[in-house]
Amino acid sequence: MSFTLPTLKYDYKALEPYIDAQTMEIHHSKHHAAYTNNLNAALETSDLKGKSIEEIIANASKVAPVLRNNGGGFYNHNLYFDLLTPGGASAPQGKLLETLNGSFGSYDSFKEVFTKAAATRFGSGWAWLIQKGDSLVVSSTPNQDNPLMDVAEVQGSPILGIDVWEHAYYLKYQNRRPEYIEAFFKVINWDEVAKRFKA
């Protein structure tokens, strides 16, 4: 069993003007595809072949770097693209909103904490909204690491992630990462985030 590059549920231009079509096309058809292909190639000679992506990356400290990096890249990008949409709920609702309020004080406070985690991640990496038990926390990880990995400082189930590698925003925003983060909030599909939240 090999992994396949997921087909996006929307056109590359669908997130304009917040995320431009050229960035989306390169990000998905080149970067995400490369992680997928490199992961499959690395698994050919690995005893992890046939395992789920979650099983492969769980023990990231014990697998070859090529599997940690490309497995993480494949998982992270699957989540990232799945949670973006030109439609859908533009703000959290129901139990998810209640838990955000309980964990951070308010939605605006969560947004501030998440934005800071994404903006201050040095170099390349990700910021995450993670479920830990009945509460939600924000963290960030370097490179293609994520909270499912045993190497993560904060472990848990990621329900939202933003890619802050430069390839995710540089064509439109250059070095203005905070503008990209603000734009990202305009295209989050909170319906999809809520599906990943276990109330």
41: domain CATH number is 1.10.287.990
Examine residue 3 and state whether it is found in any structural domain, yes or no.
no
Examine residue 170 and state whether it is found in any structural domain, yes or no.
yes
Regarding whether 111 and 192 lie in a shared domain, the answer is yes
Regarding whether 67 and 101 lie in a shared domain, the answer is no
Please give the chain's pLDDT, 199 residues, in tens: 699 999 999 999 999 999 999 999 999 999 999 999 999 999 999 999 999 999 999 999 999 999 999 999 999 999 999 999 987 778 999 999 999 999 999 999 999 999 999 999 999 999 999 999 999 999 999 999 999 999 999 999 999 999 999 999 999 999 999 999 999 999 999 999 999 999 8
Show the 3-state SS of the chain. Answer: CCCCCCCCCCCHHHHCCCCCHHHHHHHHHHHHHHHHHHHHHHHCCCCCCCCCHHHHHHCHHHCCHHHHHHHHHHHHHHHHHHCECCCCCCCCCHHHHHHHHHHHCCHHHHHHHHHHHHHHCCCCEEEEEEEECCEEEEEEEECCCCCCCCCCCCCCEEEEEEECCHHHCHHHHCCCHHHHHHHHCCCECHHHHHHHCCC
- Supply the range of the domain harboring residue 36: 20-82
End of a domain among 51, 82, 113?
Answer: 82
End of a domain among 82, 105, 125?
Answer: 82
* pLDDT tens readout for residues 173-183: 999 999 999 99
CB half-sphere exposure, 40, CA atoms < 13 A: 10
Regarding whether 133 and 78 lie in a shared domain, the answer is no
Examine residue 13 and state whether it is found in any structural domain, yes or no.
no
Predicted pLDDT at 163: 98
End of a domain among 53, 82, 111?
Answer: 82
Regarding whether 69 and 112 lie in a shared domain, the answer is no
Predicted pLDDT at 111: 98
Predicted pLDDT at 1: 63
Of the chain, the percentage scoring pLDDT greater than 70 comes to: 99
Regarding whether 73 and 153 lie in a shared domain, the answer is no
Predicted pLDDT at 87: 77
Predicted pLDDT at 199: 81
